[in-house]
């Protein structure tokens, strides 16, 4: 396995890499085991960062796969696809979470233009993106975390085999009936605790949500607090979100990054997860909340809409529909949803490992083509 800098397990890509590595080491991916994991320590030095990313680490990966008795190189996210060597002597697979930054676009939702990915990357990032596109075109197999991601992959890399392989979580760890965790210290027992999980990228539509919440009556706004979990995109983005919340008299508690224990505890005791995103490669927070038996109100857009029944989806283009759904939620008691837990079972580790094993076996048997 290979990735670039060793991102924290508290981050999205860092967390999925750690989980992927743990699953391989567990022996549950039948027919395969991990010979090693290649990565490097993060650095704030821009020159060292560029040297490691573009020269030193790719050379290390190339050398490792040529010398060790290994059968397959797997890269755990598309942002590290530049690590795929030219004319690799073994097959290479890449797990593609999304292509939002590699092929940025925009969406128009109710007259608002939403940026999906960075529309104006700098010179160095443009070079990086070219390397990523070239790397992905060298892969032997692209594992996509949803059907919508697979569709985007097939449009941009039509000659590379691609399959949909939704990611998994440890279902039992999230289930409050099996692994009950204590009420988080930062939650408020006097009102409903709502979760907002993820970054502040424009596609997450946090300003839309805050404006919608701000349009509720003062009485309704006194009944809930929003807990923002996840590493902020930047201090500036956090400042903007907090300022907007103050302007609309919405109670916002900025938590930031948390470890898995605290994240699961938050899901287990939250009244609801609010997820107004315009575009997701997968939408992991939705699955995590479902596994904890927590109510989810999410926009009716891919790929997170594939996880939920229709009654839990809210029109992305209709602020009034969101306002109505949230008002309705404020009148509901906090109960563990057996339905949510049931629907989350299809994202179990066992199922993921079985599908991953089959995909890799087909790669070697040349059946995918």
Structural tokens at position 8? 């924290």
Query: DSSP class of residue 198?
Result: S
> DSSP letters of 124-189?
HHHHHHHHHHHHHHH-SEEEESSHHHHHHHHHH-TTS-EEE------HHHH-TTTS--PPPTTS-T
146 and 13 fall within a common domain: yes
Q: pLDDT tens digits, the chain, 369 residues: what are they?
A: 999 999 988 888 898 999 999 999 999 999 999 999 999 999 999 999 999 999 999 999 999 998 778 999 999 999 999 999 999 999 999 999 999 999 999 999 988 999 999 999 999 999 999 999 999 999 999 999 999 999 999 999 999 999 999 999 999 999 999 999 999 999 999 999 999 999 999 999 999 999 999 999 999 999 999 999 998 778 899 999 999 999 999 999 999 999 999 999 999 999 999 999 999 999 999 999 999 999 999 999 999 999 999 999 999 999 999 999 999 999 988 899 999 999 999 999 999 999 999 999 999 887 554
> Residues 26, 153: one domain?
yes
310 and 218 in a common domain: yes
Q: Residue 69: which domain range?
A: 2-168+348-365
Clarify whether residues 200 and 143 are in a common domain: no
Residues 76, 181: one domain? no
Q: CA–CA separation, 307 vs 323, rounded Å?
A: 22
In the block, residue with structure tokens 């040529």 = 66
Is residue 340 domain-shared with residue 225, that is, in the same domain? yes
Same structural domain for residues 212 and 114?
no
Number of domains comprising the chain = 2
pTM of the model: 0.92
Asked if 103 and 139 sit in the same domain, the reply is yes
Kindly report the CATH number assigned to the domain that includes residue 106. Answer: 3.40.50.2000
The packing angle between helices 284-291 and 260-269, to 10°, is: 60
Q: What is the strand order of the sheet 141-144 is part of?
A: 38-40, 2-5, 73-75, 92-96, 141-144, 162-164
Q: Do 126 and 273 sit in the same domain of this protein?
A: no
Residues 9, 127 within the same domain? yes
For residues 352 and 341, membership in a common domain is answered with no
Closest by Cα among 301, 235, 225, 302 to 266: 225
Same-domain check for residues 320 and 339:
yes
């Amino acid at each position: 396995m290979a990735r670039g800098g060793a991102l924290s397990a508290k981050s999205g890509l860092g967390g999925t890499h750690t989980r992927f590595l743990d699953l391989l080491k567990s022996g549950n991916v039948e027919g395969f085991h991990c010979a090693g994991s290649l990565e490097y320590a993060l650095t704030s030095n821009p020159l060292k960062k560029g040297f490691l990313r573009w020269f030193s680490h790719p050379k290390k990966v190339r050398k490792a796969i040529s010398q060790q008795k290994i059968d397959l190189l797997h890269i755990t996210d598309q942002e590290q696809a530049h690590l795929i060597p030219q004319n690799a002597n073994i097959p290479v697979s890449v797990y593609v979470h999304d292509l939002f930054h590699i092929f940025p676009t925009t969406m128009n939702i109710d007259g608002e233009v939403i940026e999906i990915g960075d529309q104006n990357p700098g010179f160095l990032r443009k070079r990086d993106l070219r390397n990523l596109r070239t790397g992905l075109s060298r892969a032997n197999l692209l594992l996509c975390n949803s059907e919508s991601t697979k569709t985007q992959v097939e449009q941009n890399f039509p000659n590379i085999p691609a399959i949909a392989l939704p990611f998994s979580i440890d279902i039992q760890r999230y289930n409050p009936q099996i692994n009950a965790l204590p009420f988080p210290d930062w939650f408020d027992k006097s009102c409903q605790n709502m979760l907002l999980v993820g970054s502040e990228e424009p596609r997450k539509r946090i300003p839309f949500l805050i404006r919608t919440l701000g349009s509720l009556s003062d009485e309704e706004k006194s009944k809930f607090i929003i807990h923002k979990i996840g590493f902020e995109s930047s201090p500036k983005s956090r400042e903007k979100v907090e300022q907007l919340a103050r302007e609309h008299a919405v109670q916002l508690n900025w938590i930031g990054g948390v470890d898995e224990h605290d994240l699961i505890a938050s899901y287990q005791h939250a009244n609801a997860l609010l997820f107004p995103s315009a575009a997701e490669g997968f939408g992991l927070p939705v699955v995590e909340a479902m596994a904890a038996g927590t109510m989810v109100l999410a926009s009716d857009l891919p790929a997170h809409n594939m996880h939920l029944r229709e009654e839990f989806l809210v029109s992305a283009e209709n602020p009034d529909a969101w306002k109505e759904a949230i008002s309705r939620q404020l009148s509901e008691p906090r109960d563990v949803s057996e339905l949510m837990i049931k629907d989350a079972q299809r994202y179990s580790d066992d199922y993921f490992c079985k599908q991953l094993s089959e995909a890799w076996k087909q790669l070697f048997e040349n059946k995918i083509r």
